[in-house]
Chains A and B, each alone.
Chain A
Amino acid sequence: MECAVDAQSLISISLMKIHNSRTQRGGIKLHKNLLVSYVLRNARQVYIKEKYAEIYRMQQYEEVMTVCNEIQELNPLDPEPEDAEEEDLEVAALSCCAPLQDGGGKEPETSFYRSCCMETPGSPCDPFAGNGSHCNKTTVLDLDTHVVTTVENRYLHQDCCCSAPQCAPVPDSPVRKRKGDFGCCASDLEEVSDFSASRKRVRREECTDPNYTDTSNISNLISIFGSGFSGLLSRQADLEQICSKQALASLGAWTRAIVAF
């Protein structure tokens, strides 16, 4: 009885069960679908946590490498006595923001995204959900290709890496300009050590992109309404809850199809 107990396969199996239940004799079985949605939620949570951990590991690695490079390149500054403290913080800010800069300002704002988008096409890429960002995310099953993908802000993630307009910083973002003008999504000095906060802020901005494509683009896909019945989410302190609620709100029609009574 071999079985892949990995989250991704459980997600696809669960989606297929929900899909099949629509054609079963006797109508949709509410109890069974509720239980399947619990499995879906559990698998999704594990999957997201794994992804986030993976990305964080990658980020840390990049950060370490870049800091090393920066230390080698750093020129001694002429600090004014009263600015000494600020300079220390600045250096700290510099080192912390370094990954976003990606060596010299070449598309600094996209480097972070690039690392996330380095996922193989077709695999769900879900970098932000674990840290409470307000992203609309839905896992969908394409009935034609049987591919499970994550729909983010109603864009298919498979093709967003190259053409994501969100990757550019929004002009009115609360970016603090300071010496050196990194010109990118720098975090507040107080939160200089908190990567997730900086990412969260950027993400929040880009999530309010009004130009979402019509859901008819994904007309063949079945959405699984985030993680199923939103009441399940209230049990969890998990930050994914916020994403799913928004995903749920956007998928009323699909949800109603499943709760067909």
Chain B
Amino acid sequence: MLAGSGGDMQWCFSQVKGAIDDDVAEADIISTVEFNHTGELLATGDKGGRVVIFQQEIENKNYPQLRSEYNVYSTFQSHEPEFDYLKSLEIEEKINKIRWLPQKNAAQFLLSTNDKTIKLWKISERDRRADGYNLKEEDGRYKDPNSITSLRVPVLIPMDLMVEASPRRVFANAHTYHINSVSVNSDHETYLSADDLRINLWNLEITDRSFNIVDIKPANMEELTEVITASEFHPNQCNTFVFSSSKGTIRLCDMRASALCDKHSKLFEEPENPSNRSFFSEIISSISDVKFSHNGQYMMTRDYLSVKIWDLKMENRPVETYQVHEYLRSKLCSLYENDCIFDKFECCWNGNDSVVMTGSYNNFFRMFDREHRRDVTLEASRENSKPLQVLKPRKVCTGGKRKKDEISVDSLDFNKKILHTAWHPLDNIIAVATTNNLYIFQDKLTG
């Protein structure tokens, strides 16, 4: 059910997960959010290396308008802090990305990665246990062999549902630089991982080797001019992937062309507007996220101030550009001083590619309706967290007289940033991560 209009659609609060404390523990900072392919499961990763998976319950009969709640399904520690003794560097346990594998059997699989190591996790349910062992007591102690006089077959008896997460593969030691992306191929057998300078291709079954498919490291590091910022496989062409750079370019590569895809098949780049040139031009043109549309015809990129939609058939400019928070252009110097200019915002498509969404500051997030040419700014806050409370559109006053309900640029809280958002693949449910809380919103069901 995807009416898909961010404009006349109304969004309501559904749930919020996380501590209410204003004092945010660093480990609780959410670093990635991802729905699985059916939308039934929602995974978050945090700075403390933990993964929390929420599951959508079966419809609540008492409140049919409350579509379905997401409740904690599984929590596990994916990565631990490590130490690279050779370089005397600590490796953060922060989860940079989570990507779900398409479901093949009863179990669910996801890839989670920190700066250096990717892990494949199996999440499986157990609702039965074996009872009636011959050699063991109920509590697990071994029986006295002399007391065993007969043989029986253990039976499976129901038990309380237990969700287990176990690491099935560990893909380590393949990245010298910090991993920023993982992407599962549509062939369901391979995936790519990208760091600042290299992209590797893995087989999900094989952990002791990977193929390097992109390497932009210069012979002399002093000649470095750009780094890889994000990478993704095409949703249905298993030979195609893209990677974005800190220079604001996107390269599309075809793995059939050569083993090492340093030479791109397509280069997407928009010439810079010279009137916008400033000290910070290079920073704000750096792309922080790239996402293919579900239909595979478009891709979306996010840089500091805007979201751009590119037609894969047109390299010289995007087909659509949406300003996320243009009012920040005059504040770039302050944002540089407080490091906010380095924030990496992500972006996402809705299920039918008609609306795109991205985050901003002051816990605002923005939706751009491509069909109806409308955009809206909404806020994720505890104040608007009554069940099914409709979110009121917010407006930032950029100058002149501030109207009622508008907020001025100088009042924005730059510590409250929404970097990670996700849209349910089949429904109008969105997950929006503030610093340490996860908000779930849904569209207002009429009738």
Contact = CB atoms under 8 A, between A and B. Distances in A.
B115 interface: yes
A56 interface: no
A196 B123 CA distance: 72
Interface string B176-188: 1110000000000
B13 to A, nearest CB: 31
A13 B246 CA distance: 21
A147 to B, nearest CB: 19
B91 interface: yes
B227 interface: yes
A248 B225 CA distance: 15
A1 B410 CA distance: 7
Contact of B337 (A3, A42, A230, A235): A3
Contacts of A3: 331, 333-334, 337
B221 to A, nearest CB: 4
Nearest to B225: A231
A226 B87 CA distance: 25
User: A43, A229, A260: which has the most chain B beta carbons within 10 Å?
Assistant: A229
Interface in B217-243: 218, 221-227, 229
A38 B177 contact: no
A261 B227 contact: no
Contact of B223 (A13, A35, A229): A229
Nearest to A260: B87
A31 B222 contact: no
A233 to B, nearest CB: 9
Interface string A212-230: 0000000000000100011
Interface stretch (A22-30, A88-96, A122-130): A22-30
A53 interface: no
A248 B177 contact: no
Interface stretch (B143-151, B278-286, B317-325): B278-286
A29 B342 CA distance: 11
Interface string A3-44: 111010010010001000000011101111011001100110
Interface string B73-106: 0000000000010010111101000000000000
A131 interface: no
A255 B222 contact: yes
Nearest to B226: A34
B369 interface: no
Contact of B224 (A26, A34, A43, A46): A34
A26 B222 contact: no
Interface string B363-400: 00000000000000000000000000000000000000
Interface in B344-359: none
B90 A26 contact: yes
A77 B229 CA distance: 72
Nearest to B217: A261
B222 A30 contact: no
Given A25-B92, A30-B177, A32-B342, A39 B223 contact: no
A259 interface: yes
Contacts of A5: 279, 333
Contacts of B229: 31
Contacts of A25: 90, 92
Contact of B279 (A27, A34, A43): A43
A232 interface: yes
Contacts of A229: 221-225
B227 A34 contact: yes
Given A230-B223, A231-B222, A30 B279 contact: no
B221 A39 contact: no
Contacts of B94: 26
Contacts of B196: 30-31
A27 B336 CA distance: 20
A123 B218 CA distance: 35
Contacts of B227: 30-31, 34
B222 A230 contact: yes
Interface in B295-325: none
Contacts of A235: 225
Nearest to B196: A30
B198 to A, nearest CB: 12
Contacts of B222: 225, 229-231, 248, 255, 259
Nearest to B223: A231
Given A1-B331, A26-B92, A231 B176 contact: no
Contacts of A259: 221-222, 224
Nearest to A28: B89
A225 to B, nearest CB: 7
B283 to A, nearest CB: 5
A22 B35 CA distance: 35
Interface string A138-154: 00000000000000000
B337 A39 contact: no
Contacts of A29: 178
Contact of A27 (B90, B223, B226, B331): B90
Contacts of B197: 30
B336 A39 contact: yes
A261 B279 contact: no
With most chain B CB atoms within 10 A of its CB, the pick from A31, A229, A234, A255 is: A31
A30 B218 CA distance: 14
A25 B333 CA distance: 25
A5 B176 CA distance: 36
Nearest to A225: B222
Nearest to A40: B279
Given A29-B178, A231-B222, A261-B177, A35 B286 contact: yes
B225 A26 contact: no
A242 to B, nearest CB: 15
Contacts of B224: 30, 34, 229, 231, 259
8 contacts: A13-B337, A26-B178, A27-B87, A27-B90, A27-B178, A39-B279, A232-B225, A234-B223
Given A30-B177, A30-B196, 19 more contacts: A2-B334, A3-B333, A25-B92, A26-B89, A26-B91, A26-B178, A27-B84, A27-B115, A30-B224, A31-B229, A35-B283, A39-B279, A39-B283, A42-B280, A229-B221, A230-B222, A232-B225, A234-B223, A260-B89
Interface of B: 84, 87, 89-92, 94, 115, 176-178, 196-197, 218, 221-227, 229, 246, 278-283, 286, 331, 333-334, 336-337, 339, 342, 410
The 7 closest A-B pairs by CB, nearest first: A231-B223, A38-B282, A3-B333, A26-B92, A27-B89, A231-B225, A1-B334
